[in-house]
Chains A and B, each alone.
Chain A
Amino acid sequence: MVAFLDFEKPIAELQGRIAELRETAEAGAIDIDAEVARLEAKSQKLLRDTYARLAPWQKTQVARHPERPHLKDYIAGFVADFVPLAGDRAFAEDKAIVGGLGRIAGRRVMVIGHEKGEDTASRLRHNFGMAKPEGYRKAIRLMELADRFGLPVVSLVDTSGAFPGIQAEERGQAEAIARSTEACLALGVPLVTAIVGEGGSGGAVALAAANRVLMFEHAVYSVISPEGCASILWRTGEKAADAAEAMKITAADLKRLGVIDRIVAEPVGGAHRDRAAAIAALGAALADELVQLADTPRDELRAARRAKFLAIG
């Protein structure tokens, strides 16, 4: 059973009643099939209705759901023959950003993305998906490598933001992010990005200055976290829901604003409720985009990317 979010309380209660009924039925011999079916239908409808009109702050919670698929799951799901590559050749290997060679629907690609981790040990190892300068410098290295050998780049964004720390600042966090954005824009190969969970600020855009930007239906992408925005403009983090609303961070809003190109639908109840279906949907959408961009001349790819970002405003 999945972990329920606070706004899913009515659904959780229904599921609880269904579980209770089943237990009772196992103890005695009463026939409960009809009642369970009725409750299940009600629960499904409630789930569908709830997710059809999630508020921006609720989407933020879904995007951060601990059971939502992560980079590792997407790679296992739709990247064949993955060969991980490591290190920035200058300072360290930053596991908050994972990258490597692989095949998507038969096409050779370079995959780069944030990895948040899935349990305490792996979250610590991946620093909760918050990259340091060496992470962005690794991304630059891999993008340039891909460019040299004509491999399209696929980037999957899932980060609350770049890591705020003393050493990260010392080693040029801002410079690394700026250069990574610059590297995206300079690529002569296709760059397709998918915002799969949280797209947090500069730490996200550094991998997302792409030809095509896809976004999961319940992912969020913003200049600052709702809590951060609330604590600055409302002077209290408790107004995060208001800030999430005001900032326009949902896929539908960003599509309207021309910031993203395509929304990838999620299974009913979010990607974490049917991980396999979500992973397959993203894989199919990425494969489709790669087909559309294949054979585009290098100059055209670069010019199109530039024109796109110059036009946003």
Chain B
Amino acid sequence: MSWLDRVRNTIPFIARRDETPDNLWHKCAGCGQMLFVKEYEENQSVCPKCDHHGRIGPDARFDALFDGGIYTPLPMPAVREDPLKFRDQKRYVDRLKAARQATGEQDALINARGVIEGKRAVVGVQDFAFMGGSMGLGVGAAFVAGAEAAIAERCPYIIFTAAGGARMQEGILSLMQMPKTTVAIAMLREARLPYIVVMTDPTTGGVTASYAMLGDIQLAEPGALIGFAGQRVIEQTIREKLPEGFQRAEYLLDHGMLDMVVHRHKLRETLASLIDYLCVEQAAA
């Protein structure tokens, strides 16, 4: 355990907003069943009745993924804040502040290093709760930093995507994160290290059209919405109803865009087995 984990683990647990008494129950977004929050979270936010996979943030993901729930978060790279001085109905800096308060995170992509069933990995998790997981300078820089950490440690980079797309408040600079993250993937390829993508609900827009679709292996969680264009935009363009299950993980699997749809409970073993096959340095022999 690193010193950072030791410090983290000794800090008494600070009550989160969602643990107030009126949040004792969680209504499943899949089947509408009322579930005990505690029971639901212990099941990794998967509905025990209908298997609906709820959205989870970096902390819950890392806890569930890494051996013993032990991991070391990587520092967030510093980036220019609000480069365009953007304001719509609200100022972007205020939206950022609110997102940071709500999530306790600096931006929408957090990296950590740890061990998955004995295999070392650097893992990045995008948080939909942070401004829809949107990709701007912070996410782009974190992605590059995650890839670089993986290269330095000779281990795979695994990314859990969740995003509405690019962060409009950073304009063209958010679009430029598409080539930027693609450069980081090229560096992983040259280092001959696996780059594994796990798409979670939802993964759309510029994130899908860049690093989410360039994995050596492409996984997705069941039922995850994955696509390039938004469903409303498509409906307005073609003036047709969209087919059942359109842009869901299973639909992408059927159309050849994914290797596997993997239940959240099976992710650890699936990823460990893939690392074992693809990462020669860590092969079980």
Contact = CB atoms under 8 A, between A and B. Distances in A.
Interface of A: 162-166, 168-175, 177-179, 181-182, 184-186, 201-202, 205-206, 209, 221-224, 228-229, 232-234, 242-243, 246-249, 254, 257, 259, 306, 309-310, 312-313
Nearest to B137: A313
B183 A172 contact: no
B255 interface: yes
Interface size class of B (residues with CB under 8 A): 35 or more
Contacts of B174: 223
B179 interface: yes
Interface string B184-211: 1110000000000000000001101111
Report whether over half of chain A's contact residues are helix, strand or loop; otherwise say mixed.
Answer: helix
Contacts of A202: 175, 178, 205-206, 209-210, 228
Contacts of A209: 178-179, 182
A186 B186 contact: yes
Contacts of B102: none
Contacts, number: 164
B141 interface: yes
Contacts of B229: 162, 164-165, 168-169, 173
Given A257-B83, A309-B183, A312-B180, A232 B210 contact: no
Given A179-B213, A247-B172, A254-B172, 16 more contacts: A164-B228, A168-B228, A173-B229, A178-B208, A178-B211, A185-B186, A186-B186, A201-B206, A202-B175, A202-B228, A243-B88, A246-B84, A246-B87, A248-B171, A306-B183, A313-B140
Contacts of A164: 228-230, 233-234, 237
Complex A-B, nearest 10 residue pairs according to Cβ-Cβ distance, in ascending order: A164-B229, A174-B208, A233-B88, A174-B228, A209-B179, A177-B209, A175-B213, A223-B175, A247-B171, A173-B228
Given A209-B179, A221-B172, A257-B172, A166 B243 contact: yes
A166 B234 contact: yes
A220 to B, nearest CB: 10
Contact of A223 (B88, B168, B185, B256): B168
B206 to A, nearest CB: 5
B89 interface: yes
B206 A223 contact: yes
B279 interface: no
A173 B173 CA distance: 22
B259 to A, nearest CB: 13
Given A164-B233, A166-B246, A181 B238 contact: no
A164 B179 CA distance: 21
A212 B255 CA distance: 36
Nearest to A259: B172
Contacts of B256: 172
Interface string B140-182: 1100100000000000000000000010111111111011101
Contact of B214 (A162, A178, A233): A178
Interface in B232-276: 233-234, 237-238, 240, 242-243, 246-247, 255-257
B80 interface: yes
Contact of A222 (B80, B140, B171, B178): B171
The residue in A166, A172, A313 that gathers the most chain B C-beta atoms within 10 A of its C-beta is A313
B108 to A, nearest CB: 15
B168 A172 contact: no
Contacts of B242: 166
B133 interface: no
Given A169-B246, A174-B208, A313-B141, A234 B89 contact: yes
Given A205-B179, A306-B183, A309-B179, A169 B247 contact: yes
A222 B172 contact: yes
Contacts of A182: 182, 185-186, 214
19 contacts: A164-B230, A165-B229, A166-B240, A169-B228, A169-B247, A170-B255, A178-B209, A179-B213, A202-B205, A205-B175, A205-B178, A234-B88, A247-B84, A247-B168, A249-B172, A309-B180, A310-B144, A310-B180, A313-B137
